[in-house]
Amino acid sequence: MPELPEVETTVRGLATVLEGQTVARVAVNRADLRRPFPADLVQTLTGTRVTGLGRRAKYGLIHTDRDSTMVFHLGMSGRWRIDPAELGKHDHLVIETGNGHVLALNDARRFGSVDLVDTDKLDAFPAFAALGPEPLGPGLTAAHLHRAFENRFAAVKLLLLDQRIVAGLGNIYVCEALNRARIHPEREAGKVSKPALARLVPAIRTVLEESIAAGGSTLRDYARPDGELGYFAKDWRVYGREGEACPCGGTVKRIVQGGRSTFFCDRCQK
């Protein structure tokens, strides 16, 4: 599933051709993805001007001058294609701009979603209402994590995946951040020391920022809007590297937590 860096990369790619432009045409080529497209999507977007783009957790935001925001989620395999040579059967939503660009939301598995939300009510949108702070924003601090983890017996890795604590973190980047911060993924969250939390916050930010700069990590069908593949996967220290060497000289191990694979090094992560 595309994670936060992939969504951020997507939003930045869309902004280069969509921000400030008028939507000349909208075509919905099927009734639904994970759930139905909004009934008024075509009417609302056609003729509007895109005032900005953004991201909340793993959702992309396309703001318009009609005080309405299109919220999209890429699901398991969704991606936007900019100016494709031709449209395919999985290009389920197509947007054409006044200056001739074509943007196609391609989703072969149809686990993605598209919603229309009043811009001034975005914080109350059900998917956003209970989210924690953005990991790249000022709300993520060691003090915030200390409060969220206090007296919690659950493993620190599992709580970092809880979107109510930190919005948008996914399995790959939690594994990588814990390795950089030298924290064992099975450690009880309430027993993670303040110095360790002080290492963890910049580790989270750094791994996300490095992945965004690299265009994200390529997993299965993910590609950037320009069709290029993200290449951060080559810089993974532990994720997907069971049995290989950790940068510290230890060996990467794999366990299962909450039904997901966790990769770590028990030599440097305590």
Q: Does 209 participate in catalysis according to the annotation?
A: no
Q: Does 224 participate in catalysis according to the annotation?
A: no
Alpha helices in 99-189 (DSSP H): 142-149, 156-160, 171-181
Residues whose CB falls within 8 Å of the CB of residue 8, separated by 6 or more in sequence, listed in order: 55, 212, 216
For residue 257, the cross-strand partners are 260
Of 45, 74, 38, 70, nearest in space to 168 by CA: 74
Q: Does 3 participate in catalysis according to the annotation?
A: yes
Distance CA 116, CA 228 (A): 28
Phi (first) and psi of residue 160, to 5 degrees: -65, -25
Catalytic residue among 110, 205, 260, 267: 260
Catalytic residue among 3, 6, 96, 176: 3
* Radius of gyration of the chain measured on its C-alpha atoms: 20
Catalytic residue among 2, 5, 38, 135: 2
Catalytic residue among 58, 79, 224, 237: 58
Q: Does 109 participate in catalysis according to the annotation?
A: no
The residues assigned a catalytic role are 2-3, 58, 260
